[in-house]
Structure 1
Amino acid sequence: MTKFESNHLDSQQEHENHVTMDHSKHVGHVHHEVQVEEGIHGHSESAEHHNHGEHDHHQHHGNFKEIFLKSLPLGMIILVLSPMMDVRLPFQFTFAYSDILAAVLATILLLYGGKPFFQGAIGEFKQKTPGMMALISLGLSVSYLYSIYAVLARYATGAHIMDFFFEFASLLLIMLLGHWIEMKAVGEAGDAQKSLAELVPKDAHVVLEDDSIETRPVTELKAGDLVRVQAGENIPADGIIKRGASRINEALLTGESKPVEKEVGDKVIGGSTNGEGILYLEVQETGERSFISQVQTLIGQAQNQPSRAENLAQKVAGWLFYIAIAAAVIAFGVWLYIADIQTAILFTVTTLVIACPHALGLAIPLVIARSTSLGASRGLLVKDREALELANKADVMILDKTGTLTTGEFKVLNMETLDGQYTEAEITALMAGIESGSSHPIAQSIVHYAEIQGIQPVRFDKIGIVPGAGVEGNANGRNYQVISQKALAKAVAVDVPKGATLSILVEDGKPIGTVALGDELKETSKTLIQALKQNGIQPIMATGDNETAAQGVAEELGIEYKANQSPQDKYDLVESLKNKGQTVIMVGDGVNDAPSLAMADVGVAVGAGTQVAIDSADVILTQSDPGDIGSFIELANKTTGKMKQNLVWGAGYNFIAIPVAAGVLASIGITLAPAAGAILMSVSTVIVAINAMTLKLQN
């Protein structure tokens, strides 16, 4: 992957002139039924998010809700017909051949409900990393096969032999329920590449040699075509303006917070939004060389990166699998030597059935369900549980500026008078009056500021545009203009906040007042930075905005920053930090953030941003409040803590019970009776459920 063309890497020049335009339409709000086609966007399919490997089984092996609900009736009948480790419970009853009925139902249940676990186990063995699926499959297979043997032996010999149908059915139902709970909690990942394609219009208006217009699919555009872009439309391809002038909203693509003035000879990016002017563009880049396609390629590369989450439950299950196999083999050999084959088989099977991770199967899903519920109440949607494990050990957080740390909207930062004959209120009234007829973001910010201050705008007789400078109008027999400092062509003695746009009010050629407008920090941005530093996480701001604007925000927050960042630059930054062994969280809201959101260990999307960013992320801030990131870090820390506690309770029973069930203490008269094993199994399951419900957030 080569670097972007220089026109994509460089941030756009700051433009302080403004004209009467309406930029109410945003790139992310334009949705077309656009097919992601090879040769236009470079991908025909979305790579699976973060390639979470063979262990994200609820994504690969069917709908666990449907399987659980269809398996439940069969499982419940088996539980009623079969004693629990030879202990009949009050709700259970048997009748002639009821054990044969249980065997038939168990066979159906194994083939239907057990299928996803066996498929998962095959995948684990192929990867040479047996874990949860292998352990579940082992428990299901042993309990089922031995129970079938027990039923056949009863009718063949007349002897009473204990079966494990109850344990088989309860294990299967609990595991299906646990996977359903987790799947419901975290939801499904979106398709970032499809959302990215939706930014580009379906059709383009191609100008023919006789100046007639032909509507042609974007897929058929080629370099050199001349296309017309109406006001409010999204630009169909990267190109150069040949006729017309307008302001282009590129905020969601490049991170530039202000609409950028474009005129003949300037380059434009496909997917950005045209203002009110009509533009004629010569297409430069299509297919894999276009800006959108290169961003899409980066997303695909990032999604193919392997996850670095430890997956604690998978690790513990892997240990249990090997311990259970080893203990069973030893138990069989020892009991065959000191007793007989029947005793050896019973101890071996009991050992493997005891290893069935009933509590372990619910330990993580219950914590995740509680965690996602708490997160949702704080405006946090967690799409991937591994994000919680990774965020718990994060080293660096990279933050976008526009729309993430700042509001992404123009606001009046400072209003000053340059003439002692006027008060600030009078300057505000004059500026609001002359701007009242404009729909430009700068104008609307001034009008809104006056409304908040309770200042009545001055009535102007006529208002017009000063070409390339600003606006002008007449009031009280005087001529007033609101123009940029560049248009004034001389310095004014005012302090301008870094990154702000300065507009000057001129009366009959004399400057009498100024207004500084800029992208304001969100209220909770400083709180977030403090929380990150307290948790040992280094904050770095990476923005596509210009150096001046970036420096102003970074200095106010007291953090490191990188300006003029293209999607490739942000992607490379995340990749370089990960290559150093650091765990990286990326926070952003625009198309230019999507590749780095996907590449990061944890991607956090600001909910008010683009669908592309949301689809690329693991966590979504629905309220677009940076302060919620602090809550996410707390949630990640406490969730991981609860996971570890539940793994101790869920697996601790197994680690102790397996060797006892194998008979290692039989020489001193200590064995694990089936009834005692059943009680311990139930108690550990109840404990992990109660412990999961105690998860709470303080802040």
Structure 2
Amino acid sequence: MGSKKKYTSNNESKHSSPKQKNHEQMDHSKMGHDHHIHEESGEHVPHAYRDEQVHPEHQMNHNHHEGHGGHGGHGGHEHHHHGNFKELFLKSLPLGIIVMLLSPMMGVTLPFQFSFSYSDILVAVLATILMIYGGKPFYMGAIDEFKQKAPGMMALVTLGIGVSYFYSIYAVATRYVTGEHVMDFFFEFASLILIMLLGHWIEMKAVGEAGDAQKALAELMPKDADVVLEDDSVESRPVSHLQVGDVIRVQAGENIPADGMIQRGQSRVNEALLTGESKPIEKNVGDQVIGGSTNNEGVLYIEVQETGDKSFISQVQTLISQAQDQPSRAENLANKVASWLFYIAIAAALIAFITWLFLTDVETAVIFTVTTLVIACPHALGLAIPLVVARSTSLGASRGLLVKDREALELATKADVMILDKTGTLTTGEFKVLNAESLSKDYHTDEILALMAGIEGGSSHPIAQSIVDFAGKKGIKSINFDSIEVVSGAGVEGESNGHRYKLISQKAFGKKVDFDIPKGATVSFLVEDEEAIGAVALGDELKPASIELMNVLKSNGIKPIMATGDNEKAAQGIAEELGIDYKANQSPQDKYDLVESLKNEGKTVIMVGDGVNDAPSLALADVGVAIGAGTQVALDSADVILTQSDPGDIESFIELANKTTSKMKQNLIWGAGYNFIAIPIAAGILAPIGITLAPAVGAVLMSISTVIVAINAMTLRLKRN
């Protein structure tokens, strides 16, 4: 049996540049954990290898996410950890209102405003408190941006409030030192801070609501578990205190607290919320169960096998967190635009100041300078992409589409080719025995079936189970085998009554045999002394949604290609039904080479596979889509996880990708276009015809643009199933 190797973390390669893969990953395709291929090379692995542990580097890091308020990394919004904007706004509001009541707006006293002796000193004191408390997240955020050499939105806000505050302090000091009246901007300063805090509160609320998918997953887990002690008594413990090896009791109707294996009892378990499997699954002693699934009937005693970060739900939560934390190329573009706007705003503000200083006076020049800095703040631009992605991530998760890499959404809209695995992806994987014959005069067909059922008795694979079930229905008792071993890349072999048998694929056998193979069937041969003594043909059925998926792909300009390890006839039969091109007898190496050759032609490739032996090609493709979740390979190699294993979900992913990218572009155009148009107006280019923008008005307009991009992001919808 071949050696078992670990997969290189796909996260590492993707962070350096989009999909930089190399041939090192081909080592993985040579892994010897093919159990029983049945012409599906790379699609049949022993159960033991399906439950490998997750790499430590892929385990959850809750502290990282919590340290950023759950939103760290939202496209230039890492500064959100500098304060709770709801609390900041509510506590700053009274100070701001008093300042605005005691300060004239642009030198004009409004009806609701008033003043008294030394009220301007009181205003200066209150404004200083407001600057220190309410302004802190902005100038702390600006410091972060300058440390990263990427000045943007927070730097602009800091400039806006800084100019208005310090000039106003100068104005008050001048009045008392020289007696000269200089107009201050405390009203504009206070209104700007309040509007900014309110805008960020709205933003954080929107982003927080878009991230409810993780919370919903966490709620599936019970808070307490009934632990069975050595004397068979039961003790209630918090789920967080469970340890591997503990035995827990789960009664009918309860959610299972942790991943584990059934020791006692049998039941039907509903895993619909976790895997998308609509029907409750029958579970018996020795079967695996997933934490968060529901025990429908009976009492189960389960040995805990995974807890905390290694559990299925934690892995799913990790995928969502990764999706929300990883920047995409479009988001990087948004950040670059924000950076350009910073420098443009600085240049425009300087030009405005110099121009208006030359044409009028310092006060007017400062007014236009402050207005320019306020209106140029790229808040809407910085919010445009993260909100769309947060909404998209949440929407996808609710449909069982877990997007690990944001870039996958954008690349999917540019896809030219989609390569699809056959068994379990396009077909049900529920093989049925179509024909079984003895090929030797020394064995009766019933004896052949008894041997086949015996050698396959220990496997949980659908092909193996179909043979066992077929024999059982015919009343044929399985023959006991003394030992059973995996034949890497071929099938299984074992010893019974002193005879050595192999049950291997047609390709592995490699000899021509006189056996009528039904169209589209998979064939395996029972071999003794290198001679075929029996054969079995098994058929697989198309999933109902597969044909519709092909139509959707073609309508989106994506060419579907089926790549399968199955034989030519089996592949041809399915391909003809779907009306697509196909590649038969494909090993993991062949699939990898196919992806590589298409990419070398300049094609953008999506690969859809089971996430096990398709790992090299999943990792190499521009977008890797794994069917099913919870395995190490799915976490490492794929960009997108489809938990329901339904071809219709691939259609939903394409729809999600198109609509998400469309919303990104809409928000990006609005955010950037708004700022580029507003900056010249704020600088006073239209002042000769009487059109100007005051700082407070600029802040209001900026906040309106923020609300617009937020509403646009939250209107992202998918068609109903």
Asked if structure 2 preserves the Cα contact closer than 8 Å seen for 1:327 and 1:659, the reply is yes
Aligned to 1:662: 683
Aligned to 2:148: 123
Aligned to 1:149: 167
Query: Take 1:663 and 1:571, find their aligned partners in 2: how far apart are those partners?
Result: 60
Q: Deviations over 1:365-394 (max 9, x none)?
A: 332333223222221122343332232222
1:28 to 36, 47, 50: 50
Q: Give the SS at the match of 1:164.
A: helix
Aligned to 1:517: 538
Q: Counterpart amino acid of 2:516?
A: V
1:414 to 425, 429, 434: 434
Q: Counterpart amino acid of 2:549?
A: L
Asked if structure 1 preserves the Cα contact closer than 8 Å seen for 2:207 and 2:390, the reply is yes
Q: Counterpart amino acid of 2:397?
A: A
1:584 to 600, 605, 616: 605
Q: Does 1:527 align with 2:541?
A: no
Closer, same or farther: CA 538–681 of 1 in aligned 2, 3 Å: same
1:161 to 170, 184, 188: 184
Closer, same or farther: CA 102–687 of 1 in aligned 2, 3 Å: same
Query: Take 2:28 and 2:92, find their aligned partners in 1: how far apart are those partners?
Result: 68
Query: Take 2:112 and 2:451, find their aligned partners in 1: how far apart are those partners?
Result: 81
Q: Deviations over 1:389-414 (max 9, x none)?
A: 2322222333344544445x461152
Closer, same or farther: CA 180–607 of 1 in aligned 2, 3 Å: farther
Aligned to 1:339: 360
Q: Counterpart amino acid of 1:438?
A: G
Q: Counterpart amino acid of 2:523?
A: T
Aligned to 2:131: 106
Instruction: State the TM-score, normalizing by the size of structure 2.
Output: 0.59
Q: Give the SS at the match of 1:97.
A: helix
Q: Does 1:680 align with 2:697?
A: no
Aligned to 1:477: none
Q: Counterpart amino acid of 1:81?
A: L
Aligned to 1:297: none
Closer, same or farther: CA 627–2 of 1 in aligned 2, 3 Å: closer
Q: Counterpart amino acid of 1:640?
A: T
| Deviation (angstroms), 1:663 | 0.9
Q: Does 1:496 align with 2:512?
A: no
Query: Take 1:149 and 1:665, find their aligned partners in 2: how far apart are those partners?
Result: 25
Q: Does 1:360 align with 2:381?
A: yes
1:559 to 568, 572, 581: 581
Q: Counterpart amino acid of 1:161?
A: D
Asked if structure 2 preserves the Cα contact closer than 8 Å seen for 1:144 and 1:168, the reply is no
Closer, same or farther: CA 546–316 of 1 in aligned 2, 3 Å: farther
Aligned to 1:136: 154
Aligned to 1:623: 644
**Greater CA deviation, 379-388 or 656-665?**
379-388
Q: Does 1:438 align with 2:457?
A: yes
Query: Take 1:35 and 1:316, find their aligned partners in 2: how far apart are those partners?
Result: 33
Q: Counterpart amino acid of 1:684?
A: S
Q: Counterpart amino acid of 1:123?
A: Q
Q: Give the SS at the match of 2:626.
A: strand
Q: Counterpart amino acid of 1:494?
A: D
Aligned to 1:221: none
Asked if structure 2 preserves the Cα contact closer than 8 Å seen for 1:499 and 1:518, the reply is yes
1:74 to 82, 88, 95: 88
Asked if structure 2 preserves the Cα contact closer than 8 Å seen for 1:465 and 1:472, the reply is yes
Closer, same or farther: CA 33–93 of 1 in aligned 2, 3 Å: farther
| Deviation (angstroms), 1:147 | 1.7
Q: Give the SS at the match of 2:538.
A: strand
How large is the RMSD of aligned CA atoms in angstroms?
5.4
Asked if structure 1 preserves the Cα contact closer than 8 Å seen for 2:505 and 2:525, the reply is yes
1:638 to 641, 659, 664: 659
Asked if structure 2 preserves the Cα contact closer than 8 Å seen for 1:542 and 1:561, the reply is yes
**Greater CA deviation, 71-80 or 343-352?**
71-80
Closer, same or farther: CA 563–339 of 1 in aligned 2, 3 Å: farther
**Greater CA deviation, 541-550 or 679-688?**
541-550
Query: Take 1:7 and 1:600, find their aligned partners in 2: how far apart are those partners?
Result: 15
Query: Take 1:630 and 1:443, find their aligned partners in 2: how far apart are those partners?
Result: 31
Aligned to 1:220: none
Query: Take 1:679 and 1:316, find their aligned partners in 2: how far apart are those partners?
Result: 22
| Deviation (angstroms), 1:92 | 11
Q: Does 1:391 align with 2:412?
A: yes
Instruction: State the TM-score, normalizing by the size of structure 1.
Output: 0.61
Aligned to 1:97: 122
| Deviation (angstroms), 1:667 | 1.0
Closer, same or farther: CA 634–341 of 1 in aligned 2, 3 Å: same
Q: Counterpart amino acid of 1:147?
A: Y
Aligned to 1:350: 371
Asked if structure 2 preserves the Cα contact closer than 8 Å seen for 1:79 and 1:166, the reply is no
| Deviation (angstroms), 1:339 | 0.8
1:58 to 73, 79, 93: 73
Closer, same or farther: CA 448–388 of 1 in aligned 2, 3 Å: same
| Deviation (angstroms), 1:550 | 5.7
Q: Counterpart amino acid of 2:475?
A: V
| Deviation (angstroms), 1:698 | 2.4
Query: Take 2:28 and 2:712, find their aligned partners in 1: how far apart are those partners?
Result: 55
Query: Take 1:330 and 1:543, find their aligned partners in 2: how far apart are those partners?
Result: 65
Q: Counterpart amino acid of 1:100?
A: V
Query: Take 1:679 and 1:33, find their aligned partners in 2: how far apart are those partners?
Result: 49
Q: Give the SS at the match of 1:604.
A: strand
Asked if structure 2 preserves the Cα contact closer than 8 Å seen for 1:181 and 1:366, the reply is yes
| 1:297-312 equivalences in 2 (<5 Å) | 309=330, 311-312=332-333
Query: Take 1:350 and 1:446, find their aligned partners in 2: how far apart are those partners?
Result: 77
Q: Deviations over 1:460-511 (max 9, x none)?
A: 59777999999999xxxxxxx9988989x99556333446025699xxxxx9
Asked if structure 2 preserves the Cα contact closer than 8 Å seen for 1:360 and 1:647, the reply is yes
Closer, same or farther: CA 329–434 of 1 in aligned 2, 3 Å: closer
Asked if structure 2 preserves the Cα contact closer than 8 Å seen for 1:405 and 1:626, the reply is yes
Query: Take 1:461 and 1:334, find their aligned partners in 2: how far apart are those partners?
Result: 95
Closer, same or farther: CA 565–150 of 1 in aligned 2, 3 Å: farther
Closer, same or farther: CA 545–154 of 1 in aligned 2, 3 Å: farther
Q: Counterpart amino acid of 1:585?
A: I
Alignment: residue pair count: 532
2:715 to 670, 694, 697: 694
| Deviation (angstroms), 1:347 | 0.6
Q: Counterpart amino acid of 2:627?
A: V
| Deviation (angstroms), 1:622 | 1.7
Aligned to 1:508: none
Aligned-residue sequence identity (percent) comes to: 50
Asked if structure 2 preserves the Cα contact closer than 8 Å seen for 1:174 and 1:361, the reply is no
Q: Deviations over 1:515-558 (max 9, x none)?
A: 52255544433332322111012234455677776666555541
Q: Counterpart amino acid of 1:385?
A: R
Query: Take 2:155 and 2:166, find their aligned partners in 1: how far apart are those partners?
Result: 16
**Greater CA deviation, 434-443 or 361-370?**
434-443
1:320 to 341, 349, 369: 341
Query: Take 1:572 and 1:678, find their aligned partners in 2: how far apart are those partners?
Result: 55
Aligned to 1:291: none
Closer, same or farther: CA 601–64 of 1 in aligned 2, 3 Å: farther
Query: Take 2:682 and 2:374, find their aligned partners in 1: how far apart are those partners?
Result: 9
Q: Give the SS at the match of 1:58.
A: coil
Q: Give the SS at the match of 1:333.
A: helix
Q: Counterpart amino acid of 1:412?
A: K
Q: Deviations over 1:164-199 (max 9, x none)?
A: 24424543664587478659857999xxxxxxxxxx
Asked if structure 2 preserves the Cα contact closer than 8 Å seen for 1:178 and 1:365, the reply is no
Aligned to 1:244: none
Q: Give the SS at the match of 1:31.
A: coil
Closer, same or farther: CA 394–34 of 1 in aligned 2, 3 Å: closer
